[in-house]
Every structure is written in structure tokens, then in C-alpha cells.
Amino acid sequence: MEKPWNNKAWFLVLPVIVLVAFSAIIPLMTVVNYSVQDTFGNNVFFWAGTEWFEETLQSERFWAALGRNLVFSFIILAIEVPLGIAVALAMPRKGIGVPVCLVLMALPLLIPWNVVGTIWQVFGRIDIGLLGRVLADFGIYYNYTQNPLHAWITVIVMDVWHWTSLVVLLCYAGLVSIPDAYYQAARIDGASRWAVFRYIQLPKLKHVLLIAVLLRFMDSFMIYTEPFVVTGGGPGNTTTFLSIDLVKMAIGQFDLGPAAAMSIIYFLIILALSYVFYTVMTQTGRDRETGR
Amino acid sequence: MLELRDVTKVVGRETHIRGVSMALERGSLNVLLGPTRSGKTSLMRLMAGLDRPASGDILMDGKSVVGVPVQKRNVAMVYQQFINYPTLTVYENIASPLRVAGRDKATIEAEVRKAAALLRLEPYLERTPLELSGGQQQRTALARALVKGADLVLLDEPLANLDYKLREELRAELPKIFAESGTIFVYATTEPSEALLLGGNTATLSEGRVTQYGPTPEVFRNPVDLVTARTFSDPPLNMLKVTKRGDRFHGPQDTAIAAPASAMALADGTYVLGFRPHHLYLDPPGPQAVALKARVAVTEITGSESFVHLDHGGERWVALAHGVRSIEVDEDLTVYLDPQRLFVFGSDWLLAAAPALRSAA
């Protein structure tokens, strides 16, 4: 059997290949290139092998930053996902309230990261910030530049303010797609508000929640701009996340090799954790669906 | 007994239900028949207590239930979509109304097993609805309605989303399933054939009005007016505008039809003749047949039957003929009417005379 071959199809996928090559593969390979070599400038490179990787994995600084990242992402998910579901449930289903709420919800998402950082930096300042001054008047000495706890609270509140909307909008989209007949059937059954949520709304939200958790995890794990603007990684190293550390190392100290090795490890961690999240969430969903 | 007294429902500027009065007996099967948007679902929501009527009264066993919330009434409802709790097993789904009612474990077990046996769901009790076929999902929903032991069971086009085979199967079982429960059983459908197959009583709906309510064969054979007759006919009732002079109906294209005995006494004037598609013949049915000329517009062949769409004067007719016919579009055809099988409607659209031959009406 002779199969007709037609290679014209390659021309159709070529634009995508070029785009992916320039946006992902080439930069990534450059980083790989740096991570296995040493340089003293002037484009002179020496083979370093796995030296930078070993150094990174053995450095306390790296593990401390990674720990901060994990704690940060965990807190963010623990706050934003339940809060997002709650707000979505409270939003109106019809009438003039719908567009009003949607616009209000979308507003924080439209603000650039560094602006969000700046807003909160000014807002929280003890000398001129509205929040800082008011708290100080109440006797709470709120200072994110000196108190690590205050710095963390600021960064977390800022992220919750900025990104809960995303979870809300995703959940809202999931909620409005539930046919009215379900609610009606539940009413006729005499089901309680909790039963409606537990047995109708939550199962129907499963898929959007998976997306919301994945997006918020990946995004929060890559947090950079806001703490950079507000705290600059301080006080001390208390808000120095992996991304901030990475930039310090690459741009500040110009240690390109270790920075490249760290980027790759950082990238692999996000990839692996996202994969685990995805597998676990789809797997438990399937188990429940099949009843096994 | 559920009694509706001059019930009206208004949403915004639209009137969904206009002055409906009807009384549904316990243990009866009642079909609400009407096209989409004729008010079937609105009427069911009013009966269930999901909506409040704008005016009129709804009585259950003589007591007004207007304003009593749906949870407090003993009502069950099954929808066109297959509505079940997606994460619960079939067993838990069927048990859910009993759990809400707070029955003890042994009762729940017994009731669920009984309903599952009746609806042939026994092999699937441990599965979740999403693992079942559409027919089984709808059986689960029906079982939930059944175990509730409701006074009023409302079925809103429950078979519309099922394929032909499953629909026939379930339709045949339905009246038996609910017959012994002694509930008031209301079934909404758009299909006249479904109403006839289910039997019981039929209420024909048109634009929010119940045009007629009575035993199903009675409504089918003696529709009170043209609207009812058209609602209760699929394909739609064919119509011919005529003028009665003496003992003849005169129509367009020099048609003259001898008035049947039942219509002989009617005063001269304009009338509308109605006849079902299977009473528009392609071969003369007998010596009394009246021949008419018509032009073929479309033919549909379903296998054992052929639907021939014809134009006569300004009217579009459908003739139902047995077997597969080879008829060309735009062909001029002679078709036949049997005067004994004509519905005669007055100019006010009320039935003036029913067909003399009722055996096969």
C-alpha cells in the first residue's frame, strides 16, 4: 500500500514552530547553556558541568527561599480559593447587579503588578499612608519595612486583593452554567443551602476550580513584582522569594552560571508541582465519578 | 384533589397563564399538551408552588395552598434534563428525599430497593449518574420522584431528551409505575401521539390558555374548537375555508363538498373544514369521496409511510399515505376527501360538527 505523502502541512505549522522556538525553546536553551559553563565576560566560556547545580542545591539560601515560596503559595491558595468561591456564591445571578459586580471584580485584574505594589507600598506607609497612619492612631505600629510579620501580611493581603477576583470570575462562570432546574429540583426536595452547595454547586465547580488552583499556584509561586516593589525582599531576607533571589544573583551579582542553574531548578519545580496538582485533582475527580 | 380556579400568571408585561381552571383527581393521569411556550411549564410551576399566581386560587383537597412554599408541599418533579446529584450514587440519589424527610435506615433501604426494582435500576445502584445512559439517568430521577410518595408528581417532558427506543420503553412503563401510588400525575408533552398513548385526561394548551380538558380520546375526537384540534394533531390539521350554501360546502377552485349528515342542519355561511393528514387520501376511499386538485410541494418518505405536502388554493396540506410513493415535486395531483370524516368549525372557530365516522377519527 502506497500512502500519499504531502509535506505541505509543515508550512502550516511553521509559524507556530517559529513562535515557540523564539518565545520558549531558544531562551530556555540559552539558560541551559549558561548553567553548565562559567564565564568571566568577553564571551569566554569554560565548561562547568553540574557544578552550579550542586552549588545551588547545597546552598542554604536557595532552600530558605524555596521554603518561603511554598509557605506563600499555600497561604495564598488557602485564602483565595475559599474566599473566591464565597464571593462568587454571593454574587447576583441576574439584573443590573451582574455587570456592576463583574466590572468591580475585574478591576484589580486590570492593574499592572508594579502599580499594585506601589499602591500598597504607599497605602501601608506609617508616615503618609492611609492604612499605616490609621493603624498607628489606633496604637498598632504597623511597619512592613522593619517587621517581618507585617511585611508578610502586606504581601499576602496585596496578592489576595489582586487575584481573588480571578478565582471569583472563574467560579462565577461555573456557577451560572448550572441549569436552573437543579436549584428548582433541590428546592422541591427541600434540600438545605449547604446540601445545594455540597452536592450540586461544588461538583459542578470542580473543573473551574482545578483551573483556578493551577493558575493561582503557578502565579503565586512565581511571585516577584509586588514584594520587590513593596519590601525589596526584606526586612532582611524574610520576603526574598526564589524569583527575587534569582534576580539579585543574576543582575545584582552577575553570577550567570549559578543563576541559570537556579532558574532551571525553579522551572522544574513549578512544572513538577503543577503536574502533581493536576494529576491529583483530576484523579480524585475521576475516582469519585466512577465510584471506585 | 388539586383544583385550579381561574389562575393567572404574569411575568413583567407578559401573561404566561390566562384564567386556567381545572380539577385533577387523585390517582389520575393528566397530560398537558401544547406546543413549546404554550404555558405547560409555567402551569406546572404554579401547581408545584414554585411560583405564585397573579390571581386565582389553587386548592389541594379543598384547602388553598397559594403561598405555601414548595418544600412544605408534597410535590415531586422530573425534568426534560436528567437532574440527579452528580457525585452521589444511584442508591443515594434515590434515598435523598427520604433522608431529607428523616426516615429510618430500614425504611430507606426497603423503599430504595422497591423503587429500583420497579424502574429496573438494581444493577446500577452503586454507580453515579454520569456513568449511566440517558435512559437510566432519567429512571433514577423518576425513582427519586417515586420514593417521595408525593401527592403531586409533575413530569415536564421527561422523555424529550431520550432516543426513540428508550422513549417508547419508558413511556409504556410510566403509567403503571405511578398508577398504584394514588398520586395526581401530571405529564407535559408537545406530542399528540404521546398523549394518546398515555391515555388518562388531556388538557390542551395554547398561548397560556387551557382550551379543553377531558378524557384524552374525547378531546381528540371532539375538540371544542379549531385551536384544540390543531394542537392535538401531528402533522397539523389540514384546513379548507368554505361557504355553506344549502347542502353543499363551496371552496376555492370550484370545489363542492356534500355536507355530511352531521352538518346538514348548519346555517348557511362561512366555515372551516378540518381533516387529519391520514384522511386526505391519494386514492379514492369510496364512492362518496370528493376529488380535489393540489400541487405537490414536498414529499417525505419515512419507510412505511409517506408525507406529501400539498398546496391547494392558499392552503398548505399534508397527506399521510401508506407505503413509499414516488411522487414528483410540482406535480399536480388529485387528492380525495371523505365528507364523513370532516370536522366543521364555524367562523368563530368553535366546533360546529364532528366527523360522522368516529371509529377511526
A291–B130 CB contact, under 8 Å: no
Q: What is the mean pLDDT of residues B155-171?
A: 87
ipTM value greater than 0.85: no
B304-308 average pLDDT score: 88
Q: What is the pLDDT of residues B12-68, one digit of tens each?
A: 888 889 889 999 988 889 999 999 889 899 999 999 888 889 999 999 888 888 888
- The β-bridge relationship of strands B184-189 and B152-156 is parallel
Cα Dmax for chain B: 76
Q: How many CB pairs under 8 A join A and B?
A: 55
Chain B residues whose beta carbon lies within 8 Å of the beta carbon of residue A184 = 50, 77, 79
Task: Tell me whether residues B50 and A184 touch, CB distance under 8 A.
Answer: yes
Mean pLDDT (whole number) for A160-174? 92
Domain ranges in chain B are 2-227, 235-353
Write down the pLDDT at residue B93.
92
Give pLDDT, residue A78: 94
pLDDT band at A164 (very low <50, low <70, confident <90, very high): very high
Q: How far apart are CA B25 and CA B47, in angstroms?
A: 13
Task: Classify burial at B80, counting beta carbons within 10 Å of its beta carbon; exposed 0-12, middle 13-18, buried 19 or more.
Answer: middle
- The three-class DSSP label of residue B207 is coil
Which residues, 6 or more positions from A41, have their beta carbon under 8 angstroms from its beta carbon?
Answer: none
Shortest distance, CA B68 to any CA of chain A (angstroms): 12
Q: Cell numbers 484589580 label which residue?
A: A108
Full-model pTM = 0.75
User: Under CATH, which architecture does the B235-353 domain have?
Assistant: Beta Barrel (2.40)
The pLDDT of residue A292 is 38
pLDDT tens-digit map of B218-227:
999 889 999 9
Local confidence band at B260 (pLDDT 50, 70, 90 cut-offs)? confident
Residue A89 has pLDDT above 70, yes or no: yes
Nearest Cα of chain A lies from the Cα of B100 at a distance, in angstroms, of 7
Query: All 3 cell numbers of residue A60?
Result: 542554604
Q: What is the pLDDT averaged over residues B345-354?
A: 86
B84 Cα to chain A: minimum distance (Å)? 8
H or E element in which residue A273 lies? helix A256-290
Could you give the percent of chain A with pLDDT greater than 70?
95
Nearest-5° Cα angle at A221, A218 to A223: 110
For A204, the 3-state DSSP assignment is helix
Length of chain A: 292
Please compute the mean of the pLDDT values over residues B266-294 and round it to a whole number. 88
As a whole number, mean pLDDT of residues B336-357 equals 85
- Chain A residues touching B89 at Cβ < 8 A: 291
State which residue of chain A sits closest to B84, comparing Cα positions: A182
- The pLDDT of residue B201: 92
pLDDT of residue A287: 54
List the domains of chain A with CATH numbers.
61-290 (1.10.3720.10)
Alpha helices (H) along chain B: 40-48, 90-101, 105-118, 134-147, 164-179, 192-198, 216-221, 226-231
Domain spanning B2-227, CATH class? alpha beta
pLDDT in tens, B78-115: 998 899 988 889 999 999 888 888 889 999 999 999 98
Report pLDDT for A266.
87
* DSSP code at position A23: I
Residue A1 has a pLDDT of 58
Q: What is the pLDDT of residues A25-72, one digit of tens each?
A: 888 888 888 888 877 766 777 777 787 888 888 888 888 888 888 999
Based on its alpha-carbon atoms, the radius of gyration of chain B, rounded to whole angstroms, reads 24
Task: Considering only the beta carbons, identify the residue of B96, B97, B130 that sits closest to A289.
Answer: B130
pLDDT, position A39: 73
B126:A291 CB<8 A: yes
The b-or-e profile of B27-36 (16+ CB within 10 A means b, else e) is ebbbbbbbee
Q: What's residue A228's pLDDT?
A: 83
Helix or strand (DSSP H, E) at A88: helix A60-90
Q: Which of A178, A188, A286, A289 to mutate against chain B (most B CBs within 10 Å)?
A: A188
From CA B297, how far away is CA B283, in angstroms rounded? 18
Kindly tell me the sign of the dihedral angle through the C-alpha atoms of B163, B164, B167, B173: negative
All cell numbers assigned to B147: 420514593
Contact B127 A191 (CB under 8 A): no
Interfacial residues of B (vs A; Cβ cutoff 8 Å)? 48, 50, 70-71, 75-77, 79, 81, 83, 85-89, 96-97, 100-101, 126-128, 130-131, 144
User: Quick one: closest CA in A to B78, which residue?
Assistant: A185
Q: Which residue has the cell 496604637?
A: A139
Q: What are phi and psi of B192, to 5 degrees?
A: -55, -40
User: Are B18 and B208 a contacting pair, CB within 8 Å?
Assistant: yes
**Tens digits of residue pLDDT in B191-214:** 998 999 888 899 999 998 999 999
Contact B71 A190 (CB under 8 A): yes
Joined grid coordinates for residue B262: 352531521
